[in-house]
């Protein structure tokens, strides 16, 4: 599964989880992507879209 939104380009963010003792360990935050059937310039396609793009109406879902 690709980890990038096809509409806005949102992708994973990397950083550190910091414990109570302040020891840092690597962490990755992935976007909430959904596989939807949407109307695009090339026709109806299945694309990966983040939930923010779905909510804001940037994606025209196909029937």
Condensed to tens digits (0 to 9), the pLDDT of residues 9-43 reads 999 999 999 999 999 999 999 999 999 999 999 99
Condensed to tens digits (0 to 9), the pLDDT of residues 43-53 reads 999 999 999 99
Residues 6+ away with beta carbon under 8 Å from 21: none
Residues 6+ away with beta carbon under 8 Å from 3: 11, 12, 30, 31, 33
- Determine if the pTM surpasses 0.85: no
């Amino acid at each position: 599964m690709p980890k990038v939104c096809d509409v806005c380009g949102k992708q994973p963010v990397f950083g550190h989880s910091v414990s109570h003792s302040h020891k840092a360990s690597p962490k990755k935050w992935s976007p909430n992507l959904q596989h939807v059937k949407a109307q695009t310039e090339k026709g109806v396609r299945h694309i990966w879209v983040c939930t923010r793009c779905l909510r804001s109406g940037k994606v025209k879902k196909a029937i």
